[in-house]
Structure 1
């Protein structure tokens, strides 16, 4: 049987090339959500390495804040009742036209996340005790949010 994770990983370079022609500029969103103990929600995708803040692409006809709310609920089970803008970042290291908007979930309630192949694992982590394989961009955003690191315009 073919592993769906392997199939998605194989198609990733092809999809990125298609996106460059179809979408000369891309816009993504991420959400920082902390629970009562101060732990933050992180997800691990089935098709990409490392732990990330929940988030994804802004779809046609959708605002960035709508996308952030949708992605947080689908990926992490976080239904954001209020979101505030945390930062806007260029992600030119991944793709020259890529930008990421990070929101903070000021108040939220737990919901059932969307089940499927996209999310391999979900977890709640102390900002001081992140997993070793948390992505660099995620680590920097959490240091900005919780450890007083200066906010950078670059992902």
Structure 2
């Protein structure tokens, strides 16, 4: 039932918003570990983030999503490290990826209720089983200082 509801929402969203924009944060702690989240409504581990609302600056969407999903409050602006086309679910979806280094965030209380099943810190070379392909690629590229491709 949840998958059907998610699929119907995606179909409606394509009609209502012909182009979508999302943000993701590559949050790193003092030990060099990467923050990943697991949602209650879809399988897999992801970098925290979400959709940019109409009229909302992308950086504010990232601020909001990091607090909601992971209890991470930005204290300074993060670096934009890539703009990607995400064709997995919708060919007009774009994702802005920001690097959130250990010196520009502090822990706070996560505000999302019921959306996040689990939050964890992981070694970039040992991501958990179920980490999505796009998340694995972005972490690998960051950890190995590789050139970023245009596709998520």
Normalised by the length of structure 1, the TM-score is 0.92
Q: How does 1:39-58 map to 2 (within 5 A)?
A: 39-58=33-52
Give the match's secondary structure for 2:29. Answer: coil
CA distance in 1, matches of 2:112, 2:20: 25
Alignment correspondent of 2:94: 99
Q: Which runs of 5+ in 1 are unaligned?
A: 1-6
How far is the alpha carbon of 1:84 from its aligned partner? 1.2
Alignment correspondent of 1:151: 148
Q: How does 1:104-143 map to 2 (within 5 A)?
A: 104-106=99-101, 107-143=104-140
Aligned residues: 149
Normalised by the length of structure 2, the TM-score is 0.93
How far is the alpha carbon of 1:9 from its aligned partner? 3.0
What value does the CA root-mean-square deviation take over the aligned residues?
Answer: 1.1
Instruction: Give yes or no for contact 1:81–1:105 (8 Å, CA) kept in 2.
Output: no
Alignment correspondent of 1:81: 75
Q: Deviations over 1:46-93 (max 9, x none)?
A: 111110000000012211111011101111111112211010000123
How far is the alpha carbon of 1:109 from its aligned partner? 0.3
